[in-house]
Structures are given as structure tokens and as C-alpha cells.
Amino acid sequence: MQTQKLIELPSASRPRERMEEYGPAALANHELLAILLRTGTKDSNVLQLSMQVLSYFDDLHTLKQVSLEELLTVPGIGRVKAIELLATIELGQRIARSSLLKEGTVTSSQSVGSMLVEEMKDLQQEYVVALFLNTKNQIIKKETLFKGTLNSSVAHPREIFKAAVKYSAARIILAHNHPSGDPEPSDADLDFTRRMVEAGNLMGIELLDHFIIGEKTYVSLKENRMPCFQTLNKNGIN
């Protein structure tokens, strides 16, 4: 049976025309994906191809984490289409992160924790991220400092405070994810935080908090009144 080409469908069924008429929010996931893919194959029109892509990866959450190699296993997805899809996915994630960071001023553990969960929950490896703040708790810079566990030789307070001095930061918020999804702090997490607090007190650059990021939630070591934060002064976030 010959596949019906997209141009042969009524305009009310074609994604581009539907977007022009009703806006992007009215389109289903496979219709939005069809616009990005642009063309189908000799056996499937682009709507059918987009549905096939989504069926391969179950849902959008899985597609968010897909690799180039995984996309190339989908029939009808060549290297160009795969690269364009990955670029679109990454751009969307960067836009989402940018909008969160542009809130500017850190006002609570909850606001920071929620932002970091959204950004770090899907990471498959452990990353250490720092937010560098000025005296008004405004974010000067966000930077990924280390890739690996906190008990590795690479992760050292010295490197974090070197970056803080570089950005003229008055305060630091530290975060790292647990790829297991469990945000419960380990002994290594607590020991590293204690060393950060002590180094910060010596340098006059305060560690406001350390967040452990899980799959859907976080643990704020300061909010949970961990012993490693007992020496903190009272200028931090609530």
C-alpha cells in the first residue's frame, strides 16, 4: 500500500499549516517533531516518521537524554536529522536553564533547589556545579567545576575558591547530583562540605549551601542543619 504524502493530506492535517492557524501549543508532540524532521522516507511520510521516533523512545523524557548513536538506530533518521534533533533538544534545555537563572537573586533554598533539580536530575554522571554570588545574593556566574565524585582527587576546595576569587564572588552555593536518584548525602559529601565551610571561613567567602540533587528532589545540607554547617554565619539564604 502506498504511503500518502504529507502534501496530499488536507491542510487541516498538516503540521505547518496547523501551527500557522492555531499556534504551537495546539500541536501534538509528533506534529512538532514532524516540523523539525521536515521530510519523511519513501515508506513513511514525516508524520509517520515522527510517531516512529517517539515510539522508539517511549516519551519526551527519554528523548531528552537520547544520544546520536541511539537516534541513528531509528529507521529513516540519518546523521543530519539526528544532529538537528540533538541541537534542538539542547537548545530547549539551555533556554529552560537560562530562564531559571535570570531570576537573578537567590532568596531561598527552595528556589535554588528547584532550579538545580530541573537542570541536573537527568545527568547520567556526577557533576559538581557552583553558583557564585555577590553580597546581595545575586548570581554572578554558574559553572560546572568537576565531573566525578566528590571523593576524587580532582574535586578540591582550592579549585572552587580559585574560581570564586576569579569572579569576585562573596558567596558560593555548591551542588552535585547523585545519578542513582537518591539525594541522601554520603559521608564523603558531608566531609567535603565541612572542608568547604572551613576554607570559606578562612578566605572570607561564605559557602551558603550545598545541594545534593536526586531524580525528583534535593537535599539542602544547610536547610537540614547538618553539622558541617554549624560554623556558618547568619548571612545566608533562608
**CATH number given to 103-229:** 3.40.140.10
Give the separation between CA 29 and CA 54, rounded to whole angstroms. 8
- Under DSSP, is residue 142 helix (H, G, I), strand (E, B) or coil? strand
Q: What is the pTM of this model?
A: 0.60
Mean pLDDT of 174-198: 92
pLDDT tens for residues 47-84? 999 999 999 987 777 888 899 999 999 999 999 999 99
Pick the range with the lowest mean pLDDT from 99-103, 143-147, 164-168, 188-192: 99-103
CATH code 1.10.150.20 for 6-98: yes
* Cβ atoms 132, 143 nearer than 8 A: yes
| Residue ranges per structural domain of the chain | 6-98, 103-229
What are 109-143's pLDDT values in tens digits?
A: 888 888 899 888 888 889 999 999 999 888 889 89
Distance between alpha carbon 102 and the CA centroid of its chain, in Å?
15
